[in-house]
Amino acid sequence: MNVTFEQLDAEHRSYKGISLSEEECREHLQNAVKDNLLDREEWQDSLNRLQALQEETGFIANAGLIADIQTLLNEEIELKQFRIGEAYAEIILEQEFVCRFHWNENRDARNPRGNKTGADLVGFTEVNGEVVFLFGEVKTSSETATRPPQVMTYAEGIEKQLRDLYNDRNKRFILISYLKNKMRHYPDGHPFKIDFNASERSYYSDTCNFQLYGVLVRDVESDVKDLSASYERLKNHILEPNGLKLLALYLPIRKEEWENIINE
């Protein structure tokens, strides 16, 4: 993993490009990204419950139980490329940028090929030792005709989405309420509750701290122009003390191949 370009204005305000090797990319796709998309924790719980029923003495299982167990064991994932890009972004943010996503949003999807609601990234990060809410958006693009690509600048691109997250307090409140609804099911002392309580204090303090993230997932050569102009526009709108970070991930494997690699 190599940093190909970077501008650092402050710990919480920057843009950066990162390129990955083919070996790193394959390892991520076949392990951490797949686990995220599959929701490995929930998958294992479902499998354990069904297998326990199957093995229960005196329980007469129907054919549907066997079929559902086989479906879980199959593990094949069929997803749109942008969902893979979103999962990849979460993994890199967690592994490299002190971000935490305690709740897998795939659990809320009624349709596994559908869109998420609200924001692509909803979690927590640390800024100068303080835990704050993280809200972000992810786009996947192979476009090279224009830099930045249109997914950064068009009507529903990352620039507009981040401006909306900054401007719309009600939208942020809905996302915070979403996290609170998930957090309350965990016991006291769980990292999810600890992060939420700390972030809530930061958010409602006199400085109202939160972090915005825009992640661009690319399968083309690195180019600073993918982020530089967007960052300059956004930093004049999204003001201190709130955080603004743009990240471009450059993967050496074409996005059309990602799903097959995940399912190898």
User: Residue 107 has what pLDDT?
Assistant: 63
Reduce the DSSP state of residue 185 to 3 states and report it. coil
> Within a domain: residue 124?
yes
Question: What is the rounded average pLDDT for all residues in the chain?
Answer: 90
User: Residue 105 has what pLDDT?
Assistant: 75
> How many structural domains does the chain have?
1
User: Residue 78 has what pLDDT?
Assistant: 62
CB 7 within 8 A of CB 225: no
Q: For residue 148, what are the domain limits?
A: 2-22+79-262
CA distances to 29, 69, 106, 254, 261 from 25, rounded to whole Å, are 6, 30, 22, 11, 10
Compute how many other C-beta atoms are within 10 angstroms of the C-beta atom of residue 121: 25
User: Taking 70 as the threshold, does the pLDDT of residue 25 lie above it?
Assistant: yes
pTM: 0.86
> Within a domain: residue 35?
no
> Within a domain: residue 33?
no
> Within a domain: residue 90?
yes
| % the chain with pLDDT above 70 | 92
User: Residue 62 has what pLDDT?
Assistant: 82
> Within a domain: residue 101?
yes
> Within a domain: residue 58?
no
Question: Exposure of 63 by Cβ count < 10 A (0-12 exposed, 13-18 middle, 19+ buried)?
Answer: exposed
More confident residue, 241 or 46: 241
Among the listed ranges 49-58, 113-122, 125-134, 162-171, which one has the minimum average pLDDT value?
113-122
User: Residue 110 has what pLDDT?
Assistant: 44
What pLDDT, in 10s, does the model give residues 62-118?
888 878 888 777 766 667 778 999 999 999 999 999 999 998 776 665 445 545 567
User: Taking 80 as the threshold, does the pLDDT of residue 41 lie above it?
Assistant: no
> Within a domain: residue 111?
yes
**Can you tell me the mean pLDDT for 157-164?**
98
Among the listed ranges 55-64, 102-111, 128-137, 204-213, which one has the minimum average pLDDT value?
102-111
> Within a domain: residue 248?
yes
User: Taking 80 as the threshold, does the pLDDT of residue 236 lie above it?
Assistant: yes
Distance CA 113, CA 67 (A): 21
User: Taking 70 as the threshold, does the pLDDT of residue 43 lie above it?
Assistant: no
